[in-house]
Amino acid sequence: MAQPPPRGLFLDLDGTLADSMPVLERVYFRFLEGRGRAGSQRQFNELAGLPLMETVARLKKLYKLPEPLAELLANYYELVDKVYQSAAQPAPGAQELLTAAQARGVAVVVVTSARGVVARGFLHNQGLWHQVRAVVGAEATARGKPHPDPYQKALEVTGLKPPEALAVEDTAIGAASALAAGIPTYLIADPARAVRVEGAAGYIRRLDELVPLLQGTGGA
């Protein structure tokens, strides 16, 4: 029996809806270089998907950074804010997927470890805000990814049950969050990080590969 089309589409922001990982990678290296520390690509990949507060807390501990956590976090936010809105772009296939979701009345929620203000700013700047029902940002739940709380909040906002929604993520941390909430989850496969997650519904290279699923014609 064919799977019914989802009624909710829950999208991660960075690396999923937004082609922003190169932007965040530059911020990560600049943050550490400004303190005389050298980061690594491997470490950046491992931290991808975590709430920024947890990322900065881990960097403070790993590199023995002397500044108070609040000061470090404020500086990281400042670095992000300087470049994000001007450099981040919609991911390939994003517009097509959102248009298909809107046409079928599918509730789109952006579920992100970024601050809500960053996500909303991106959506407004890119002309996508009218196609999104809600944003669940880092401040919306007490626990962030990989805990299920952000995706449970998205279910609460839309009034949907887990099987009625579909989540899309690009990191193991993000996918763990959605799967823990019981939501079928697709991952955008990034050959550079080779993310493979047990229990994932499937892997895609572009967001518009999911359009047939929204239309009830299979795909992905």
- Is 179 found in the same domain as 113? yes
Residue keyed to tokens 């990322």: 55
**pLDDT classification of 174: cutoffs 50, 70, 90:** very high
Judge whether residue 190 has pLDDT over 80. no
At 216 the pLDDT is 78
- Global pTM reads 0.90
pLDDT tens digits for range 26-60: 999 999 999 999 999 999 999 998 999 999 999 99
Q: Could you tell me if 139 and 193 lie in one domain?
A: yes
Residues 51 and 124 both lie in one domain: no
Please report, for residues 65, 82, 200, 209, the alpha-carbon distance to residue 171 in angstroms, rounded to integers and kept in the order given: 27, 24, 11, 18
Give the other-Cβ count within 10 Å of 178's Cβ: 33
- pLDDT on residue 1: 42
Token pair for 99: 């248009």
pLDDT of residue 151: 99
* Cβ neighbours for 120, distance < 8 A, ≥ 6 positions apart: 129, 135
Average pLDDT, stretch 185-212? 85
Claim to verify: residue 63 and residue 141 sit in the same structural domain: no
Report how far residue 43's alpha carbon sits from residue 24's, in angstroms, rounded to the nearest whole number: 13
Q: What is the CATH number of the domain that holds 33?
A: 1.10.150
Q: What CATH number corresponds to the domain at position 103? A: 3.40.50.1000
Residue 2, both tokens: 């064919």
**49 closest CA partner among 210, 135, 160, 175:** 175
pLDDT > 70 in the chain, percent = 95
Q: Is residue 3 part of a domain?
A: no
Q: How far apart are CA 17 and CA 191, in angstroms?
A: 17
Structure tokens at 153: 């909040």
Indicate if 134 and 183 belong to the same structural domain: yes
Final residue before a domain boundary, out of 87, 105, 131: 87
Contacts of 85 (CB under 8 A, 6+ apart): 118, 121, 122, 125
In a domain, 1, yes or no: no
Q: Is residue 220 in a domain?
A: no
Structure-model confidence comparison of residues 190 and 81, the more confident one:
81
pLDDT at 192: 54
**Is the same domain home to 100 and 201?**
yes
Per-residue pLDDT at 196: 80
Query: Does 2 map to a domain?
Result: no
* Per-residue pLDDT tens over the stretch 205-220: 999 999 999 987 766 6
| Count of structural domains, the chain | 2
Domain containing residue 55: 21-87
Which of 64, 87, 110 represents a domain boundary (last residue)? 87
Q: What would the pLDDT profile of 57-106 be if each residue is shown by its tens digit?
A: 999 999 999 999 999 999 999 999 999 999 999 999 999 999 999 999 99
